[in-house]
Amino acid sequence: MPGEICKAEDGAHRSRAAAGASPGDLATLLTLFSPAFPIGGFAYSHGLETAVRECRVKRARDVERWVEVLMSRGSGWNDLVFVALAHGAVTTGDDAALADLAELASALSGSAERRAETVGLGSAFLTAARPWIAAAGHRLAVLEEIDAMPMPVAAGAVAALAGLGKGDTLTAHAQNFAHSLVSAAVRLVPLGQGEWVGVIHALAPAIVGNAGRARTATLDDLGSSALVSEIAAMRHETLPTRLFRS
């Protein structure tokens, strides 16, 4: 009967969701969102270098709090929203929405260096991920026609073209965001290896929680109250000596 068929399909869907990514998809996620993926992420501190120089971030607990705030109500959160929306735009074939998202994500960069960071990483990500999406044809051409491709929009779009689930993609992106900043802190604060592991472990609830919260996010959920981070990113370009490009 129709009702029984629907129940069976719902059950199958829940089973697939509970199972998570397939082994192949998991391997792709681990590759695309690895801090070692060749997009140059190691060159950016996202304003953290300024915060360390100004003694706002001095120890492991400060790093943990800094990254957690960015992911819950700062630039990291906005990135997660854009990842989710870009994934949805590609999934539904809405090319105009994808272009609008790229423009908005670029415009929301709070400083010239932040914009250079997100656009530089996004362009590099799209290029490096080509082997996984080469068969996308027209859809890949649409991505390449966007002049300035911010990282979160590129991440969501590439993941959708590669057939990766939105939830798994969001978790992978949040994990990559956290790892990149904590790795920068290792060089800046500096942090020892044990402290690095401790910070990453402590950030796990924020990574998973904010990724889950972003799954149903809309444009209305964009916003940032991490003003100290935004100002730190602006001040970075005037530091007398710098290790990072942002």
Tens place of pLDDT per residue across the chain (246 aa): 444 433 443 443 343 444 578 999 999 999 999 999 999 999 999 999 999 999 999 999 999 999 999 999 999 999 999 999 999 999 999 999 999 999 999 999 989 999 999 999 999 999 999 999 988 777 888 888 998 999 999 999 999 999 999 999 999 999 999 999 999 999 999 999 999 999 999 999 999 999 999 999 999 999 999 999 999 999 999 999 999 999
pTM confidence score: 0.91
In a domain, residue 100? The reply is: yes
Give 179: exposed, middle or buried? Use CB within 10 Å, 0-12, 13-18, 19+: buried
Tokens representing 65? Answer: 């709090």
How far is residue 76 from each of residues 46, 73, 198, 226, measured CA to CA in Å? 10, 7, 20, 10
Count of the separate structural domains present in the chain:
1
pLDDT at 139: 81
In a domain, residue 16? The reply is: no
In a domain, residue 92? The reply is: yes
In a domain, residue 29? The reply is: no
In a domain, residue 37? The reply is: no
Residue 94 backbone zone (phi > 0: left; psi -120 to 50: alpha; other: beta): beta
In a domain, residue 73? The reply is: yes
In a domain, residue 8? The reply is: no
CATH of residue 82's domain is: 1.10.4190.10
Range of the domain at 61: 47-236
In a domain, residue 245? The reply is: no
pLDDT at 19: 54
